[in-house]
């Protein structure tokens, strides 16, 4: 195996070495900039998650964006004014946090179900959300399908009549 | 019966994959001609059985065979047949089967389009692909068997996640997997070359079309996913930097780097070991992406099942495959020479910067994606890394590439002067700056960042045009009329893909800066103004589809008193799953979309609604589609189909000191290969 | 030259990432620690599925460690879980009770007759009101309740033999002492 550099005259080798240095510096410079950007971005843009209990125990920061998660308390949802000003309460059953939100709620939002809200905690203890996420779960069966299945039976018997089956 | 046959096909495929790997790798290593000769047949058999297994599952879905657990969990007899087929990849088990089938298709493609390659090389490539197939087949059979029966069979299935019942989402996974899995071919070529010890420009040339094809498919897959998010999720967003999205975006970035690095390796013989490493990295990112999505270690809007056993399997597989590849690399790569030298200002140098930038960007995305895991591992709390992080890091990191797109293709290999480049591109620069500075006035409000974005977009397009003109001029006036404008397809594909980037940046800049979003309450008869459009709400009416019921709203859109269009946003409830789904209504236009989605019924016929105006948003997707088209045009170049004899001849000819080539031309370099 | 070392950098990176991903597997990001674990179980006073004239009252189970499985005839994952429950009934001496969630009595009886009834008794909750008090996300779910009526464990989704052997049975044994 021949090594490329060994066949070149000394002057060339020095030249190559300097060129190499330029490249290494350039590459490291580039990475340096990237690292600086990343450090800066992580300082300002990481969003922490707290439970209502942690918020009630004052572990959550005021004036900084974070997320809270829990269940939407039954009967706590109110549309106010225009209908796009929304109030509800997030609870982990031990503690409850009132939330206000201006906007349209996601499809999966339901009272008694899980929710995650992102926003800031106001001085009055009310969480001002600018984003509300309701999670659905693909893992196992959501309820409320029972009625749907009755409706589906008609379709199914048709399929059998047409000669379906295993 | 059919499901059992499908299961049997998977077992056969697993065994044949082992044969394929053994004959391919051992046969090539020992030089046993009979074994090498058998590899193609083994690979085809393996692919065929994988495809048959897939067909069996699809058939069970088609026939509503709810005695198959996976079918019962993901389908419903009331769904239209095409969504029942699409439900095959609606969940984990079927997705893995799709992975395997896609790998089968790529393997099949390799067996057919490799006739011009040396048999030994093909045997190694297929051998490596066989090992990958084996790993995934074993994973599917032992942890995620889609053919498990449940008895007694339920009379009806659960239904597919209603969000996935959309043409974009139905076609998104196959396209994405074509990309993801396609990188396994580039990986297999790199492994074969490392094993053979010939990491040369012939290897790079063989790899190029496969890499570009996979990348183009991945591009389309990402566009479909983004389009789906925009039209179906109902938030008007098109990219969320969600872990699952990042999982597809990281291989895309690394793949883009690989495409450019391969160009240097093929034309100049440089970056050889780096290119091989990139091929490994790109495929590794596909595997890591699969792990992230399939193991559920990161929560995401896509929320798949958490199954630690599956996670452990994929993780082990990942460490074995990538670890072995990197060890082979560490063993072989140091013996590969440096290749042709180049100056600080040269096309190679710019492509090197391109690579550094792309890999840095990939790293930044990877870090952001894994950050929650790092915090969790160190017990520092539960966090989310959202769009602000990625936007703050990604945009500045990737920006240099937008500039270099204009300069790189016009720069000479080996050595170039800044003065020549400035001479050639001064008009393009001038046009770009003027266009970028003036266009924001047309949008009503001048913003510095918009001007910057538009300068970049105009620069990419204008310099692309300069490139095209120069290429024609260099070719000389051969032929008449339109034939004068004929450039090699590989070159044309590059120019088109780069223009796609320009179009994307144009759309992205405008939609980010000038979107208007209103969350309002609408009573029947209400009119709302939105970016110059008047939207009149006429109330809702019940409606129904094949497997859902809905409230269907009517919104009449007009501009300056003239009716433009009528939108019908819906709030659907799918019968099988009982889940509500917002279906936005969008009026598409090249100058912008008007987007309406219903929120909640707030009584008296009034609804809350989201109304958006998204200027030039379609240009973003158009740009991505153009990139993919550029990729497909590039691989149709006949250069990639030249007889192998000619390749080998150039590859083996001693050319220790390649002459500077004024035009890109294949230069054979072989001084670095081992054995 | 020590150039060889730098070719090992990618492997180091791989191992670091793999370690991170592996540690991620030990956490479940979607694990919402159930607020009810460690609290008294909501009372269940409902008609029995087998005989609506009789009342299933969880107060009668005071002083016993018992397992509550939330199920429904329409639930596909329950069918997946069913064999595990049957084994549990036959082999382990475990008081397993059911809560038939948002289901009709006819469909429920039909399903139990066809597949086998693993429960000592099941309460019928057609409207899901009791399930709501338990914070049922979906079906199936399984709760382990101790002698004082406190929920000690909650399983979301189907039970697997591993969960039964490694978590539920040891827990029940410990609580029964």
pLDDT in tens, B182-197: 999 999 999 999 999 8
Final residue belonging to a domain, choices B116, B131, B161 = B161
Question: Among B299-308, B387-396, B603-612, B662-671, where is mean pLDDT lowest?
Answer: B662-671
Q: Do B150 and C76 touch (CB under 8 A)?
A: yes
What local confidence, expressed as pLDDT, does residue A13 receive? Answer: 54
Q: Are B548 and B607 members of one domain?
A: yes
Whole-number pLDDT of residue B5: 96
Mutate which: A2, A3, A4, A13, vs B, most B CBs within 10 A = A4
What confidence tens digit (pLDDT) does each residue in C97-135 have? 999 988 888 888 988 988 889 999 999 988 878 887 887
Nearest-by-Cβ selection for C18 from B73, B315, B334 = B315
| Selected residue with higher pLDDT from C109 and B486 | C109
Binned at pLDDT 50, 70 and 90, residue B169 comes out as confident
Residue C164 tokens, joined: 């039964």
In contact, A104 and B571? CB cutoff 8 Å: no
| Cβ B82 vs Cβ B62: under 8 Å | no
CA nearest to C36 within chain A = A93
**Is residue C161 less than 8 Å (CB to CB) from chain A?**
no
Which residues 100-139 on chain A approach chain C with CB closer than 8 angstroms? 112-114, 135, 137, 139
Q: What distance in Å separates the CA atoms of residue B114 and residue B202, rounded to the nearest whole number?
A: 13
Range of lowest pLDDT (A17-26, A151-160, B581-590) = A151-160
Chain C hits for B330, Cβ within 8 Å: 4, 7-8, 10-11
Residue B561 backbone zone (phi > 0: left; psi -120 to 50: alpha; other: beta): left
pLDDT of residue B500: 97
Based on the fold, state whether residues B70 and B200 are members of the same structural domain. no
Domain span at residue B390 reads 166-412
**pLDDT for the residue numbered A105:** 85
Worst-scoring range by mean pLDDT, B2-16, B489-503, C19-33, C50-64?
Answer: C19-33
Longest Cα–Cα distance in chain C: 88
Question: A136 to chain B nearest CA, in Å?
Answer: 8
B35 occurs within a structural domain? yes
The answer to whether residue C28 scores a pLDDT higher than 60 is no
Worst-scoring range by mean pLDDT, B82-86, B423-427, B670-674, C80-84?
B670-674
Dihedral sign for Cα A11, A14, A20, A21, please. Answer: negative
Residue pair B530/B594 in contact (Cβ under 8 Å)? The answer is yes
Which of C82, C138, C156 best tests the A interface by mutation, with the highest count of A CBs <10 A? Answer: C138
* Annotated domain spans of chain A: 4-45, 48-133
Cα B360 from chain centre: 18
Instruction: Give the helix/strand (H/E) hosting B520.
Output: strand B516-522
Look at residue B671 and tell me if it is in a domain: no
Find chain C residues with C-beta within 8 A of B154's C-beta: 74, 76, 79
Neighbors of chain B by Cβ distance (3+ pairs < 8 Å): A, C
Q: Which residues of C touch A146 (CB under 8 A)?
A: 72, 74, 102-104, 107
Burial of B108 (0-12, 13-18, 19+ CB in 10 A): middle
Predicted confidence at residue A93, as pLDDT, reads: 67
pLDDT digits (tens, 9 = 90+) for A74-85: 888 888 877 778
Q: Cβ–Cβ of B280/C114 closer than 8 Å?
A: no
Lowest-confidence segment of B339-353, B375-389, B431-445, C99-113 by average pLDDT: B375-389
- The pair of structure tokens assigned to B381 is 């709390």
Q: Are B68 and B147 in contact (CB under 8 A)?
A: yes
What is the pLDDT confidence band of residue B640, given thresholds at 50, 70 and 90?
confident
- Low-confidence winner among A16-30, A93-107, B251-265, B433-447 (lowest mean pLDDT): A16-30
Chain C neighbours (≥3 Cβ pairs under 8 A) are A, B
Task: Please tell me which residue of chain B has the smallest CA distance to A7.
Answer: B656
| Distance between A150 CA and the closest CA of chain C, angstroms | 10
Of C100, C31, C102, C29, the closest CA to residue C70 belongs to: C100
Residue B604 lies in a domain: yes
Task: Output the domain CATH number for residue C130.
Answer: 3.40.30.10
Q: How far is B158 from chain C (nearest CA, A)?
A: 7
What six digits make up the tokens of C165?
A: 């052997």
Per-residue pLDDT at A26: 79
**Is a pLDDT exceeding 70 seen at residue C33?**
no
Q: Which of B323, B329, B376 sits opposite C24 (nearest CB)?
A: B376
- From chain C, the residues in CB contact with A145 under 8 A are 74-75
Q: Residue C56's CB: how many other CB atoms inside 10 A?
A: 23
Measured between beta carbons, the chain C residues lying within 8 angstroms of A141 are 72, 74-78, 138-140
pLDDT at site C99: 93
Give the DSSP H or E segment for A115. Answer: strand A114-121
Residue A152's nearest CA partner among B560, B76, B372, B448 is B76
Q: How many CB pairs under 8 A join A and B?
A: 175
Q: Are residues B497 and B549 in the same domain?
A: no
Instruction: Kindly tell me if the per-residue pLDDT of C158 is higher than 60.
Output: yes
Residue B289 has pLDDT above 70, yes or no: yes
Report if residue B661 sits inside a domain: no
Q: Do A69 and C75 touch (CB under 8 A)?
A: no
Average pLDDT, chain C: 84
Containing structural domain, residue C107? 36-176
Total number of domains constituting chain B: 4
Report the percentage of chain B scoring pLDDT > 90: 55
> Given a cut of 90, is residue B661 above it in pLDDT?
no
Q: In angstroms, what CA-CA distances link C86 with A121, B149, B404, C50, C119?
A: 49, 17, 67, 18, 9
Q: What is the pLDDT of residue B307?
A: 57
Q: In this predicted model, what pLDDT tens digit does every residue of B265-278 receive, in sequence order?
A: 998 888 898 999 99
Which tokens is B56 given?
């069996």
pLDDT at B305: 42
Asked whether residue B451 carries a pLDDT value surpassing 70, the answer given is yes
Mean pLDDT rounded to a whole number for chain B: 87
> CATH for A48-133?
2.40.50.140
Strand duo C66-71 + C96-101: pairing: parallel
Q: Considering chain B, what percentage of its residues have pLDDT values greater than 70?
A: 91
User: Distance between CA B334 and CA B537 in Å, rounded?
Assistant: 69
Q: In 10 A of CB A158, how many CB atoms?
A: 11
pLDDT value of residue B648: 42
Radius of gyration of chain B (CA): 27
pLDDT at B160 over 60: yes
Residue C59 lies in a domain: yes
Give Dmax (Cα) for chain B. 84
Does B644 map to a domain?
A: no
* pLDDT score recorded for residue B302: 37
Assessment of whether the complete model's pTM goes beyond 0.90: no
pLDDT on residue C46: 92
- Contact at CB, B337 and A82, closer than 8 angstroms: no
Asked if residue B41 belongs to a domain, the reply is: yes
Q: For the residues B495-524, what does the mean pLDDT come to? A: 93
Q: Where are the alpha helices (DSSP H) in B63-152?
A: 69-74, 81-86, 92-112, 119-143
What integer pLDDT is reported at residue C157 of this predicted model?
78
Strands A46-50 and A66-72: parallel
C17 occurs within a structural domain: no
My answer on whether B367 and B428 are in the same domain is: no
**Confidence bin at A107 (pLDDT 50/70/90):** confident
The pLDDT score that the predictor gives to residue B418 is 87
* Residue with the larger pLDDT of the pair A123 and B308: A123
Q: Are residues B458 and B336 in the same domain?
A: no
């Amino acid at each position: 195996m021949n090594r490329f550099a060994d066949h070149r005259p000394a002057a060339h080798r020095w030249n190559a070495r300097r060129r190499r240095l330029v490249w290494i510096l350039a590459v490291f410079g580039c990475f340096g900039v990237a690292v600086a950007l990343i450090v800066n971005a992580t300082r300002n843009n990481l969003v922490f998650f707290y439970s209502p209990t942690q918020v009630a125990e004052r572990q959550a920061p005021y004036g900084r964006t974070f997320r809270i998660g829990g269940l939407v308390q039954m009967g706590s949802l109110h549309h106010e004014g225009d209908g796009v000003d929304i109030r509800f309460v997030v609870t982990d059953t031990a503690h409850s946090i009132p939330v206000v939100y201006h906007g349209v709620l996601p499809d999966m939002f339901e009272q008694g179900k899980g929710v995650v809200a992102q926003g800031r905690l106001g001085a009055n203890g009310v969480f001002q959300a600018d984003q509300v996420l309701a999670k659905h779960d693909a893992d196992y069966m959501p309820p409320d399908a029972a009625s749907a299945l009755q409706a589906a039976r008609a379709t199914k018997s048709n399929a059998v009549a047409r000669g379906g089956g295993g | 019966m059919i499901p059992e046959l499908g299961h049997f096909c998977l077992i056969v495929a697993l065994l044949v994959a082992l044969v394929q790997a053994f004959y391919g790798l051992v046969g090539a290593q020992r030089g046993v001609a009979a074994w090498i000769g058998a590899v193609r047949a083994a690979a085809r058999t393996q692919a065929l059985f994988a495809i048959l297994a897939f067909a069996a599952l699809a058939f069970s879905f088609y026939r509503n065979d709810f005695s198959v657990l996976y079918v019962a969990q993901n389908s419903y007899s009331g769904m239209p047949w095409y969504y029942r087929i699409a439900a095959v990849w609606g969940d984990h088990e079927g997705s893995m089967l799709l992975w395997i089938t896609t790998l089968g298709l790529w393997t099949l493609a390799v067996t057919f389009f490799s006739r011009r390659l040396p048999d030994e090389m093909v045997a190694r490539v297929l051998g490596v692909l066989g090992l990958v197939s084996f790993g995934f087949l074993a994973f599917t059979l032992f942890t995620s068997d889609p053919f498990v029966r449940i008895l007694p069979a339920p009379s009806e299935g659960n239904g597919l996640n209603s969000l996935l019942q959309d043409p974009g989402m139905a076609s998104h996974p196959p396209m994405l997997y074509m990309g993801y899995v396609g990188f396994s071919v580039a990986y297999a070529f790199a492994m074969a070359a490392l094993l053979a010890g010939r990491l040369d420009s012939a290897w790079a040339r063989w790899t190029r079309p496969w890499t570009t094809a996979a990348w183009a498919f991945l591009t389309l897959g990402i566009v479909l996913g983004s389009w789906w998010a925009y039209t179906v999720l109902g938030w008007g967003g098109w990219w969320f930097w969600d872990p699952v999205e990042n999982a597809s975006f990281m291989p895309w970035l690394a793949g883009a780097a690989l495409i450019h690095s391969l160009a240097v390796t093929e034309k100049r013989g440089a970056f050889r070991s780096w290119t091989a490493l990139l091929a490994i990295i790109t495929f590794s990112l596909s595997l890591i992406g699969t792990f992230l999505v399939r193991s559920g270690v990161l929560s995401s809007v896509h929320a798949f099942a958490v199954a630690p056993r599956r996670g452990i399997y994929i993780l082990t597989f990942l460490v074995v495959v990538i670890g072995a590849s990197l060890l082979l690399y560490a063993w072989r790569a140091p013996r590969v020479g440096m290749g042709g030298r180049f100056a600080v200002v040269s096309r190679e140098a710019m492509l090197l910067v391109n690579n550094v930038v792309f890999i840095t960007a990939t790293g930044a995305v990877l870090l952001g994606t894994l950050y929650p895991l790092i915090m969790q591992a160190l017990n520092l709390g539960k966090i989310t890394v959202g769009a602000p992080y990625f936007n703050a890091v990604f945009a500045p990191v990737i920006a240099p590439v937008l500039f270099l797109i204009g300069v790189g293709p016009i720069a000479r290999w080996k050595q170039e002067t800044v003065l020549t480049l400035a001479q050639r591109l001064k008009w393009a620069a001038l046009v770009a700056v003027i266009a970028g500075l003036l266009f924001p006035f047309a949008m009503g409000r001048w913003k510095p960042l918009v001007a910057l974005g538009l300068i970049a977009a105009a620069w990419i397009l204008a310099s692309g045009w300069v490139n095209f003109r120069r290429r024609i001029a260099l070719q000389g006036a051969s032929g008449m009329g339109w034939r004068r404008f004929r450039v090699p397809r590989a070159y044309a594909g590059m120019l088109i893909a780069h223009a796609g980037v320009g179009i994307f940046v144009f759309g992205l800049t405008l939609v980010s800066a000038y979107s208007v979003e209103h969350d309002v309450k609408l009573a029947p008869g209400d009119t709302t103004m939105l970016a110059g459009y008047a939207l009149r709400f006429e109330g809702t009416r019940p409606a129904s589809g094949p497997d859902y019921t809905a409230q269907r709203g009517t919104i009449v859109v007009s501009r300056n008193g003239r009716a433009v269009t009528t939108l019908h946003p819906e709030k659907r409830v799918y019968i099988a799953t009982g889940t509500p789904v917002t279906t936005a209504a969008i009026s598409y236009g090249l100058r912008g979309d008007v987007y309406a989605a219903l929120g909640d019924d707030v009584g008296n016929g009034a609804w809350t609604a989201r109304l958006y105006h998204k200027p030039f948003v379609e240009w973003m997707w158009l740009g991505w589609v153009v990139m993919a088209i550029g990729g497909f045009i590039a691989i149709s170049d006949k250069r990639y189909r030249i007889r192998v004899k000619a390749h080998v001849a150039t590859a083996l000819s001693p050319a220790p000191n390649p002459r500077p080539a004024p035009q890109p031309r294949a230069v054979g370099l072989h001084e670095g290969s081992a054995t | 030259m020590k150039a060889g070392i730098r070719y090992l950098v990618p492997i180091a990176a791989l191992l670091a990432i793999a370690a991170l991903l592996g540690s991620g597997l030990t956490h479940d990001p979607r694990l919402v620690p159930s607020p009810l674990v460690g609290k008294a179980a909501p009372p269940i006073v409902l008609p029995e599925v087998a005989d609506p004239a009789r009342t299933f009252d969880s107060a009668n189970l005071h002083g016993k460690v018992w397992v509550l499985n939330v199920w429904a005839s329409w639930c596909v994952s329950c069918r997946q879980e069913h064999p595990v429950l049957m084994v549990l009934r036959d082999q382990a001496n475990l008081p397993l009770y059911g809560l038939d969630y948002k289901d009709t009595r006819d469909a429920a009886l039909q399903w139990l007759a066809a597949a086998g009834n693993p429960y000592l008794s099941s309460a019928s909750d057609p409207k899901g009101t009791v399930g709501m008090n338990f914070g049922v996300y979906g079906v199936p779910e399984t709760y382990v309740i101790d002698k004082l009526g406190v929920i000690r464990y909650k399983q979301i989704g189907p039970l697997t033999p591993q969960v039964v052997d490694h978590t539920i049975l040891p827990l029940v044994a410990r609580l029964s002492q």
